[in-house]
Structure 1
Amino acid sequence: MNPLTSAAAKLSAYNRDSVLSASPARLLTMLYDRLLLDLTRGETALEAEQWPTAWENLRHADQIVAELAGSLRVDLWDGAEGLLQLYGYLADLIVGGMIERDVTKVREAIALAEPLRQTWHEAAALLPSATAATGITRDLGVA
């Protein structure tokens, strides 16, 4: 195995282990971080007319939004239904950005997702580390 392949394999294993050992709150913030990264990469690719790269990043962003919506427990808090509707709107913007190659839709998705990302990071930071690891995120309305 050459050094680059070895380094890539080690990085992949590290990333996998980071996800597998993360608390539910940390997993949620990781999803939001990756969502913003994918949206930003998609925006950049659309601007450069790099359609396959834009498609790949925006498709992954859409999958993350679907995961966020699927893990949302609307029965646990009053605001969950509104957040679920926002996730639906985000998905529409992302898919529209992909299909129509419309960077303005992706920018709107970024503008909506960034404050959510910040809010979830702030909420996760308020959780004591011991309770975060035991699934306290159900109090935040996520499975």
Structure 2
Amino acid sequence: MITSPYQKYQQTQLQTASPAQLLLMLYDGAIRFIRMGTSGIDEKNYEKANTNLCKAQAVINELIAALNHDYPVSKSLYQVYEYMIFQLIQSNLKKDKKPATEVLEYLMELREAWYEASKSMNSTAEQAQ
């Protein structure tokens, strides 16, 4: 049950977001969770590391579920996402932040690419009107 105004705001934001905005939110979430997970490794707080690296894996699984397999790039993205999950598992098991940091870099690059693509789509849509 949603009780706080902030939770209501978040729910409204999710319900009114475009598909491109939702995708960027997923990337933002995964990035945030990996940063918190690597912070947990640094602090030797392995519960924090485990919780957040598992949350990042769940977000990447959502990215996999959102793939549209009508496009050839989906196969490549699927493989990249699977590799990211593998690396996060390795990072979590070994309590080594290097694999998670690699995933973080990939996610930030992909997020930037999707952000630029969404800006391009928005400007094209505005010109068509």
Same fold (TM over 0.5): yes
Pairing partner for 2:55 from 60, 65, 80: 60
Greater relative contact order (CA < 8 Å, ≥ 6 in sequence):
1
In the aligned structure 2, how far is the partner of 1:113 from the partner of 1:56? 19
Name the SS of the counterpart of 1:128 in structure 2: helix
Picking from 11, 17, 38, the partner of 1:16 is: 11
Q: After superposition, what is the alpha-carbon deviation per residue over 1:89-109, rounded to whole angstroms, capped at 9, x for unaligned?
A: 000011111122111111111
Unaligned segments of structure 2, at least 5 residues = none
Please give the residue correspondences for 1:61-140 in structure 2 after superposition, counting only pairs within 5 Å. 61-75=56-70, 77-128=71-122
In structure 2, give the amino acid aligned to 1:78.
P
Q: How many residues align?
A: 123
Instruction: Please list every run of at least 4 consecutive aligned residues from structure 1 whose deviation after the TM superposition is greater than 6 angstroms.
Output: none
> CA separation in 1, counterparts of 2:93 and 2:15?
33
* Identity value in percent: 26
Distance 1:24 1:119 in 2: 15
Q: Which amino acid is 1:91 matched to?
A: I
How far 1:121 sits from its partner (Å)? 0.9
Structure 1 segments unaligned to the other structure (5+ residues): 1-7, 132-143
TM-score (ref. length: structure 2):
0.88
The CA RMSD measured in Å over matched residues stands at 1.7
Given residue 118 of structure 2, which amino acid in structure 1 is its aligned partner?
Answer: A
Q: Distance in 1 between matches of 2:104 and 2:9?
A: 28
